[in-house]
Structure 1
Amino acid sequence: MNFTNSPSVNFLFNMLSIWSFLLLLVLFKSTTLVISDKNPGQKWALLVAGSNGWYNYRHQADICHAYQILRKHGIPDSNIVVMMYDDIAYNEENKLSGKIINHPHGVDVYQNDVNVNNFMKILLGKEKEMQHVGSGKVIKSGPDDHIFINFVDHGGRGILCFPEGEMTIGELNKTLTEMHRLKKYGQMLIYIEACESGSMFKNILPNDIKIYATTAANARESSYACYFSEELETYLGDCYSVNWMENSDKVRLLQTTELLWLETVREQYNIVKFETNTSHVSEFGDRSVSEDYLSDFQGEEIFFKFGNSLFLQLLQQQPQNRRPPNVHLDAVSSRDVPLEILKRKVSKNGYDSDAARQNLHSLLLKRKYVDEFINQMVVEISKHFHLNHHAMLTKRVADDGMDFDCHTKLVHHFSRNCFSFSKNTYALKYAYVLTNLCNTGIPVDEILIRMEKSCKTAKKYSNIV
């Protein structure tokens, strides 16, 4: 009789493995409690999906997944603030109504209704100003606390978008500096998924204020979407985001000791940088923070609470079922996502392929219109100020020495009067032009006057993705 394949023997072997592993965990945990006592503060998180619309499905899916990771690892809901438009779970195009997934074989990661709030007020803990706004929650952190910020959306040179409006490099770094001045944190970890996201920190984020940031892309390239779903006809995730989250998801009780309190932020960065071969994952700020354990920001495994039913569920699960199977990433530049979705619909030659073909043709026309409009605007401004318009359109000035005040004014003026960056995300590819104009030394008010004259003409198209 072959006892090696006997169910009873396998059960006994599994139980011995479990309890042996748990004994090691308890012994290790008892030695690390002294380390934990050195960090008496709380853990806080701000998770932001700055877009809306079905073609941006992946952004909200990323944030819902991040929320589930933090909750699974023990961070209370009261310490997690989620900002997202919340228009995809019950979207008419969602064939899995009420569900949001972040992997082709993933579980539902949708969790409760949340509203878009004021990013900076939440970070600064302005509770009174946020009363009756969305969830009303803010980050009420102090000098011993750890804060984790995860922002996922569209971006451009020195810009991160929200469903309504945008945040500039100057506004973000001013907020972080103010938090440091007010002693609102002990250490902070920031993950940003957006095109040209490195431009938000390069040569700007100080290396001595206990803030460490990693970005999906450097200052001059696109980030990439991944996991196209044939069923939902949209991308489920972003390469950088799914790589860090699937790393944080690795809680395999019998197979490995790869847990959040055994892995440092630096180790996760190196893993994500290696796995994300579509763009250059970058790091900025205080590198000493990267030597902290992930658990300091993303929480510890909840299965240490032995009475919790989740612990029993983990014991009952088969190891191979705890991690999504490997699939092809289907990676595509984030700025090409709307085009790629339509191209895939056209290639099906099905019921809606004709409509998709018309929509694709229309989108290409709209993008060409933006190209021509911005080119003409730059020509007119350059002619007035005797600038080289070709240089304005092709060169990118150094990332340091930027005039934040000029940049913020030009970005918001362009977005209000020319093309809203949040509604016309294709225009973000030209955000560097605004930086170039600021670096000419021409007074910002004079540039604004010329820009307004160029932009006040009626737009042929709007809402260009």
Structure 2
Amino acid sequence: MICRFNYRHMANTLSLYRTVKRLGIPDERIILMLADDMACNPRNNYPAQVFNNENHQLNLYGDNVEVDYRGYEVTVENFLRVLTGRHESAVPRSKRLLSDEGSHILLYMTGHGGDEFLKFQDNEELQSHDLADAVKQMKEKHRFKELLIMVDTCQAATLFSQLQSPGVLAIGSSMKGENSYSHHLDSDIGVSVVDRFTFHTLAFFEKLNMYSNASLNSLFNSYDPSMLLSTAYYRMDLYKRALNEVPVTNFFGSVMKTIHTDSAYTGFLAAHDAELPLSVGNNILDHVMLQNEASARRSNIEEMNVSFSKFCISFI
């Protein structure tokens, strides 16, 4: 997720971050980029807290927020490195998008933008051709199976104009020549705390859980221009599947595939193995065979986690 220096952009990003975690995507599969720490800004009347609603019931900046890139680490260069995997050797795994050819990736960006650009740190811009080139490299390097790009900014649709890679779906908060608007003002904080497009996206997902079968088509149809005060744009020509057949959890959530068996559960096999006698030859052989079986079962359990989505989050 990418956001800019404004309070509401940070709230946008943290709100969607909370949503995808609630729907099953773990932190180790999320890259969160926050360009500024509004929680600790001296003008924030609620220190160490960020809210997206004037009732202040839910602190979005709680103990379970793991920020991967913050402040002046959030640059166009670092963002493109995350997408393409072109990191310096010293960059830890936690700051890398460890995706592959089977991954479904959600890329969410929010901030100030214009015709074919999105601003970073008020002094540089991500251009539409930069994004298209990075996505092309990702496809060539087998870094995703399907990619959903969601952008909440003015003239968001223009950021998708150069995309050509298959398997890519894009949605923006506004068309060319349109502004994207904030939703409501918090008088205590003195600024708007969430944007309209993201607010209505969150309202859609608050009705769902990780097992819901709502489709991408239902999400796209939920955007009402009279509520957004702009026209949501969809780029679908590069994506071949019917949207009414694609669950939103393909990108916004994760559910482990469960395999039913008739045999008893044998969890913590290593502890069970330690209790086996090792004093005679036959028992040693049996013990080795059980260890091999335990290793095989652990491998199978790891392979069951088949539907985790990779989620690239940046904050501009």
Q: TM-score, normalised by structure 2?
A: 0.71
Looking at secondary structure, tell me which structure has more helix per residue. 1
How far off is 1:217 after superposition? 0.4
| 1:272 aligned counterpart, secondary structure | coil
Give the alignment partner of residue 196 of structure 1, picking from 155, 162, 169. Answer: 155
Aligned residue number for residue 246 of structure 1 = 203
Q: 1:108-127 residue pairs with structure 2 within 5 A?
A: 108-110=59-61, 111-113=65-67, 114-115=69-70, 116-117=73-74, 118-127=78-87
Give the alignment partner of residue 173 of structure 2, picking from 195, 216, 224. Answer: 216
The 1:121/1:227 distance shift into structure 2, 3 A limit, reads: same
Q: How many residues align?
A: 244
- Rounded Cα–Cα distance in structure 1 between residues aligned with 2:104 and 2:231: 26
The 1:154/1:213 distance shift into structure 2, 3 A limit, reads: same
Aligned residue number for residue 79 of structure 1 = 29
Higher Cα radius of gyration: 1
Aligned residue number for residue 146 of structure 1 = 104
Q: 1:13-24 residue pairs with structure 2 within 5 A?
A: none
Deviations 1:377-430 (A, max 9, x none): xxxxxxxxxxxxxxxxxxxxxxxxxxxxxxxxxxxxxxxxxxxxx9xxxxxxxx
Q: Is the 8 A contact 2:83 2:97 kept in 1?
A: yes
| 2:203 aligned counterpart, secondary structure | helix
Question: Which amino acid is 1:77 matched to?
Answer: D
Q: Is the 8 A contact 1:72 1:301 kept in 2?
A: no
Q: Is the 8 A contact 2:51 2:59 kept in 1?
A: yes
Give the alignment partner of residue 184 of structure 2, picking from 227, 244, 249. Answer: 227
| 1:266 aligned counterpart, secondary structure | helix
- 1:294 and 2:245 are equivalent in the alignment: no
Unaligned segments of structure 2, at least 5 residues: 259-315
Give the alignment partner of residue 230 of structure 2, picking from 272, 279, 295. Answer: 279
The 1:265/1:216 distance shift into structure 2, 3 A limit, reads: same
Aligned residue number for residue 39 of structure 1 = none
- 1:162 and 2:113 are equivalent in the alignment: no
The 1:160/1:95 distance shift into structure 2, 3 A limit, reads: same
Q: Is the 8 A contact 1:260 1:293 kept in 2?
A: no
Aligned residue number for residue 96 of structure 1 = 46
Aligned residue number for residue 133 of structure 2 = 174
| 1:232 aligned counterpart, secondary structure | coil
| 1:225 aligned counterpart, secondary structure | coil
Give the alignment partner of residue 9 of structure 2, picking from 52, 56, 59. Answer: 59
The 1:130/1:270 distance shift into structure 2, 3 A limit, reads: farther
Question: Which amino acid is 1:138 matched to?
Answer: R
How far off is 1:197 after superposition? 1.0
Q: Is the 8 A contact 2:29 2:97 kept in 1?
A: yes
- Rounded Cα–Cα distance in structure 2 between residues aligned with 1:212 and 1:261: 21
Q: TM-score, normalised by structure 1?
A: 0.49
Deviations 1:260-309 (A, max 9, x none): 6311112101102456430010001334453411111111479x9xxxxx
CA RMSD of aligned residues (A): 2.4
Question: Which amino acid is 1:292 matched to?
Answer: V
Aligned residue number for residue 262 of structure 2 = none
- Rounded Cα–Cα distance in structure 2 between residues aligned with 1:130 and 1:147: 24
The 1:109/1:260 distance shift into structure 2, 3 A limit, reads: farther
Structure number with higher relative contact order (C-alpha < 8 Å, ≥ 6 residues apart): 2
The 1:266/1:287 distance shift into structure 2, 3 A limit, reads: farther
- Rounded Cα–Cα distance in structure 1 between residues aligned with 2:119 and 2:249: 29
